[in-house]
Structure 1
Amino acid sequence: MKLLADQFLLHLRGQRNFSRNTLKAYQFDLGEFLAYAAANRAGTPAALDRLLMRGYIASVSSRGVSRNTLLRKISAVRSFMGWLLENGRLETDPFDLITIPKKEKRLPRFMTEGEVGKLQDYNRPEEVNAREKNYYFALRDFALFELVYSSGLRRSEASGLNIGDLDLFSGFARVMGKGSAERLVPVGDKALSAIRDYLETRPKPLAHGQPLFLNHRNARLSGAGIALIFKKMARRARFARHVNPHSVRHSFATHLLDNGCDLKSVQEMLGHKNLQTTEIYTHVSLERLKEVYEKAHPRAKK
């Protein structure tokens, strides 16, 4: 079974063009499923039946995971079953007649424009350098935050940027998104200025193929490293809420819509294939509009 799972992952990488993060999630989820199957003496495709799938779903649910996490794990296993069917390893679909729970609709977590301003103020390089004498990455961190907020990048996209992907004169960045889909995104003047200041500190000459953001070992800054930086920035600003690259991306989209940007343009900048994925941000904007109305209008409250 392990060999079949490895072949399936190779298929996803080569034929379906899945991103590295998606492949990593599939590998982890399939590993969990195969361990469950082995513990229940289901070591061959012939032993993969409906009873096993029901038991697996119940086992994952009993761990108290969120519905969306459960659905992600089920999706990975269902895709594997589909591949086994296509390749003649299974005769029937073990998920047939199993009711799958619906996806939980959650509004994205985002910061207000005031909170973004506060985060920026507390993390300006001059402020950080004055308080933290032995920290040498304030310019990098500030440039990174400004870019992610200015362009709505995923952390993997920010991590994967090279110096040559950024046009400092026209104000655009070439980004490699999910499924190796390339897109051009605008970069604001403040972000460009912060990036120029950071690049001035980098050893010369700068090559187009060098990573845009480096870690303390002068290697490419990873997505996990970016998440840790944003967490540190939130602590400096004394935020009680959790701040990560994705919540900054959510803030980017929400603020654009709040200030009159059309949904189609936001979709293109975020790199969403489906407009419905972007439409969730309209719900966020409408919820905020309703809150403002209820606070301001004398007849809004009962």
Structure 2
Amino acid sequence: MIDLKKTIADFISYIIIEKGLAKNTALAYKSDLSKFFVYAQKKNIAVENFEHNDITDFLWEIKNEGLKPRSLYRMMETLRQFYKFLIVEELIKTNPTVYLTAPKIPEHLPGMLSSEEVDALLTSVSATDETNIRNRAMLELLYATGLRVSELINLKFSNINLEECFLKVLGKGSKERLIPFGNKAKDFINVYLKKRKPKSGEEDNIFITRLGKKISRIEFWRQLKNIAKNAGIVKNITPHTLRHSFASHLLSGGADIRFVQEMLGHSSISTTQIYTHLDNAKIKSQHKKFHPRS
């Protein structure tokens, strides 16, 4: 019988080291497997003895419990990867996930801001005290580069070249990428660094709290909500909204999709293509409004 505790640890190491998946993705897989193992225990079926029908029964049960299509898709991918691993390790001979059919996931177009809304958001931050100047610098850089919020708050002095206006990011799957940014972001970062008081603590982190600690994603999200409210923006805004806006505005301005893919750190261009759908929707709207035969 398989030693589940050891097998899970080995599997997590496998998907991080050999598959190059991010730590957060690995943790999500681990969480999915925990649910699966609870089900296996409830049904009194050893994991290595699961057959195709047993897998589909499990997926049907969690679907009926209200699991959303995207979460169901991830669960299926978790099980696929786990059973592939068991095959590789010669712990089982047949893979019960081979013929699983993925659920249809409804296309979700990301929320974004118009150029005017981005401008209103940025200029609403009063550059007076250190916190406000830091927030303005962070927002300018976020919109200039399309960084993920985790990449932004973990940005270190060793990752940025202010003279050349480039920064280096280690993104998902430990993939490194170089991203340029403009003078606007550079100027506000320089203003912030002049105001940033020397503190003990997270000295290598660029963006820190008044206590010298690295700013958390929750704190930054809270600050962004307040800034959006003061700017009179009623849309539900998250740090990812600026990432979406960055990508869409680049593409609508004529940027090559592969350039945008590289900037965002997407492993597949199909992920980036969702932003072209935003432009297609705009084109369709304009055609319907102005074409005489629409």
Where structure 2 has 5 or more consecutive residues not aligned to the other structure, the ranges are none
Counterpart residue type for residue 113 of structure 1: S
Corresponding residue for 2:229? 235
Output one character per residue of 1:34-75: Cα deviation in whole Å (capped at 9) or x when no partner: 222222223x33332223311221232123333122111221
Query: Which is further off, 230-239 or 258-267?
Result: 230-239
Unaligned runs of 5+ in 1: 130-135
Letter in 1 for 2:142: V
Equivalent-residue separation in structure 2 for 1:63 and 1:45 (angstroms): 22
Q: Please list the CA deviations of residues 154-213 of structure 1 after superposition, one character each: whole Å capped at 9, or x if unmatched.
A: 112112210121111111111111111111111111111121122122234999970121
Structure 1 residues 56-71: aligned runs within 5 Å = 56-71=58-73
1:174 match: secondary structure: strand
User: 1:132 matched to which residue of 2?
Assistant: none
Distance 1:59 1:185, change over 3 A: same
Q: CA deviation at 1:25?
A: 1.7
1:130-209, aligned counterparts within 5 Å?
137-204=131-198
Structure-1-length-normalised TM-score? 0.86
1:290 is aligned to 2:262: no
Count of residues in correspondence between the two structures = 291
Q: 1:262 to 1:207 in 2, by over 3 A?
A: farther
Task: Tell me the distance in 2 between the aligned counterparts of 1:282 and 1:226.
Answer: 28
- Helix, strand or coil at the partner of 2:151: helix
Give 4+ residue runs of structure 1 displaced > 6 Å after superposition: 205-209
Whether the 8 Å contact between 2:124 and 2:230 is mirrored in structure 1 is yes
1:53 aligns with 2:47: no
TM-superposition CA deviations, 1:266-288 (whole Å, max 9, x none): 12211222222222211211211
Q: Which position in structure 2 is the counterpart of 1:133?
A: none
CA distance in 2 between partners of 1:24 and 1:137 (Å): 33
Which secondary structure state, in structure 2, belongs to the residue aligned with residue 200 of structure 1?
helix
Task: Supply the distance in 2 between the matched residues of 1:148 and 1:93 (Cα, whole angstroms).
Answer: 43
Which residue of the partner structure matches residue 280 of structure 1? Answer: 274
Percent identity between the two aligned chains: 30
Q: 1:3 aligns with which of 1, 6, 26?
A: 6
CA distance in 2, matches of 1:161, 1:87: 38
Shift, 1:216, TM fit: 5.0
Distance in 1 (alpha carbons) for counterparts of 2:208 and 2:39:
40
The TM-score normalised by the length of structure 2 is: 0.89
SS at structure 2 position matched to 1:249: helix
**Deviates further, 217-226 or 264-273:** 217-226
- Deviation, 1:230, is 2.8
Instruction: Give the Cα–Cα distance (whole angstroms) in 2 for the partners of residues 120 and 289 of structure 1.
Output: 27
Matches of 1:209 and 1:110, distance apart in 2: 33
Match for 2:65: what amino acid? R
The residue identity in structure 2 corresponding to 1:50 is H
